[in-house]
Amino acid sequence: MNRTFIAILAISTAIFIPTLHAGYSTGGSGLQLITSGDLENAALYINTAATWINGTPPAQPYTNQTSFTLPLADNIALGRLVITYWGGSAARTNTLNITVNGTSLFTDNSLTFGSTNDANPMFTLNQPNVYGSGSGVWLLTIPILPSLIYTNGTANIVTIAEDPSTFDGRINQVTFIAVYQNAALNNTFHYALAEGSGDIYNITNPATGRVDTRSVTMPSGDAALVTTATLHALYTYGDVNQNDRLYFNNTALGGSGSNDIANWNANATGLDYGPNLVSYEVTSLLASNNIVTFSVSSNDVPAPYETSLRPQLAILEFQTIPEPNAGALALLGCLSTLLFCRKKT
């Protein structure tokens, strides 16, 4: 993208290590595995709301509210919010509170982040994470206690309230993630989730840690047992008609649109900036270890290129053939023994 503000698994990036603080890296800190799991009778819910405000920054204190309605569920195994902020400058800081259905996600009802010396953690499962990069783009990922999430068809209300500051405060997107269980699903479900500031640039710069590809290895175990598999990826600051590619095991995803995956259309949406949440069925491409690659490299992508792009989330979900019930196997063994004995007599 051409703009003044620039805008799981093992990670492969350039050898150079950029300027890096706990929550900020000039060229992006990359993506890392945060969690993975296996559950019976489970599924993934993921939905994204575009929340950008065109023109001047919002008057502060600023409050943003979005809602997300999950399918009916018996239980929540994982809840997570993923939020992208524009700060106006990498030097600025912000303090906010985020609630889900009226309850704060922070122990002291606030989170302060920002500046190139940001000290918030990254790549943790159970703490709020902050990933800053470029000229003030901030990714927040925050765990949601399962007990806070409505599973009865009632909308989950996410409220973000900012304190007054010099921070620009405009929010690019809010994404709600949940792994939920429902006995009616009758499946064996697996998931792996990676996140981070996976910034990629068509023009690389070792001095600032800018790279043109990010690769992630996602294991799936015995691929022969997998019945269906889907890859989800979340981008911010993509532009329609500026090219990028997403590869799964060296195969470009997206069919006829494979050259322009992150294709936010400002004219069609009425918002200057927004997210792209994409999902691709990858069952036939699955291996025991799967390489996911985000690229704006001129070696991979035809011109015109995305000059900068921010992949921020990758989730691989898949289902396998259910394991036989242990009790049923024991009963089958007993029946087999009885039949054998009857034949002998």
Q: What is the pLDDT of residues 260-307, one digit of tens each?
A: 999 999 999 999 999 999 999 999 999 988 999 999 999 999 999 999
Give me the average pLDDT of each 10-residue run along the chain (345 residues): 37 37 88 93 99 92 96 98 97 97 97 96 97 97 99 99 92 99 96 96 94 90 91 98 98 97 98 99 93 96 97 97 58 47 49
Name residue 104's beta-bridge partners: 99
- Rounded to 5 degrees, what angle do the CA atoms 246, 252, 258 make? 75
pLDDT at 9: 38
Give, in order, the Cα–Cα distances in Å from 125 to each of 128, 143, 145, 169.
8, 7, 12, 25
Burial 26-52 (b: 16+ CB within 10 A, else e): bbbbbbbbbbbeebebbbbbbebbbbb
Q: How buried is 326 (Cβ within 10 angstroms: 0-12 exposed, 13-18 middle, 19+ buried)? A: exposed
Alpha helices, DSSP H, located in the chain: 266-269, 326-344
Query: For residue 47, which phi and psi values (nearest 5 degrees)?
Result: -150, 145
Amino acid symbol at 221: G
Residue 324 burial (CB < 10 Å; 0-12/13-18/19+)?
exposed
**pLDDT for 59:** 86
pTM: 0.89
pLDDT value of residue 324: 62
- Domain ranges, ordered by start, for the chain: 10-344
Produce one character per residue of 61-99: b if its CB has 16 or more CB atoms within 10 Å, e if not.
Answer: ebebebebebeebeebebbbbbbbbbbbebebebbbbbb
- Residue 157 token pair: 């209300």
What tokens does 131 get?
Answer: 């990933």
- DSSP for 81-118 reads EEEEEE-SSTT-EEEEEEEETTEESSTTS-EEEESTT-
Q: Which amino acid is at 288?
A: S
pLDDT at 327: 52
